[in-house]
Amino acid sequence: MATLENAKPASAAARPSAGVGSWPWVIQRLSAVLLIVFLGVHWWISHFASVGEEITFIGVTDRLKEAILVFVDGGMLLIALYHALNGARNVILDFTLGRRTTFVINAFFIILGIVAFIYGLNALLPFTTGTALFYR
């Protein structure tokens, strides 16, 4: 019968990791705490400070003259993407997969994260510098 006492953890070979130890786990917790703060600011600024006020391009340009809010948006993009994609990765990797599959999944989430981060950051530029790096 399986009990906590005789249950053995799977060997390192059977549980492939990204080779980065427990850092993803630690950063998942740190990003969670930061997200509470950032999401609070994000929601307050864009929805609750002036409930029902229309969000417009001019309005956002005006708001983002405040450097700290550019920092909040960019920082939140990074932290939310990390927390979200690492979380989704955790859900998938709980289904103990092979080494190769794990590598492909890790690579997929890293690339998706980098692409989404650049795509999102690019959209901050029209509000701040006036021109984005690339247009659709």
Partner 1 sequence: MYKSAQRRERNLNTPLWPGNYRLGMWMWLLHRVTGLILVLYLLVHIFVISSSVVAKDGKAFNDVMELFRSPAFIIGEVLLMAAVFYHTTNGIRILLFDLGIGVRHQKGLFWAAMVVAVGAWIAGAYFLVPLAFK
Which residues bind to partner 1, rule: CB under 8 A?
1-2, 29, 32-33, 36, 39, 47-48, 51-52, 54-57, 60, 77, 80-81, 84-85, 87-88, 91, 116, 119-120, 122-123, 126-127, 132, 134-136
Nearest CB to partner 1, comparing residues 6 and 13:
6
Q: Which long-range contacts (CB under 8 A, 24 or more apart) does 114-121 make?
A: 116/81, 117/77, 117/78, 117/81, 120/77, 120/81, 121/74, 121/77
Distance CA 39, CA 49 (A): 14
Residue type, 79: I
Helices (H), the chain: 23-43, 57-63, 67-93, 99-122, 125-128
Q: How far is the CB of 68 from partner 1 (least distance, A)?
A: 20
Tell me how crowded residue 82 is: count the other CB atoms within 10 A of its CB: 20
Q: How far is the CB of 48 from partner 1 (least distance, A)?
A: 6
Nearest CB to partner 1, comparing residues 55 and 111:
55
Nearest CB to partner 1, comparing residues 13 and 56:
56
Nearest CB to partner 1, comparing residues 14 and 32:
32
Q: How far is the CB of 12 from partner 1 (least distance, A)?
A: 22
Token readout for 128 is 């701040």
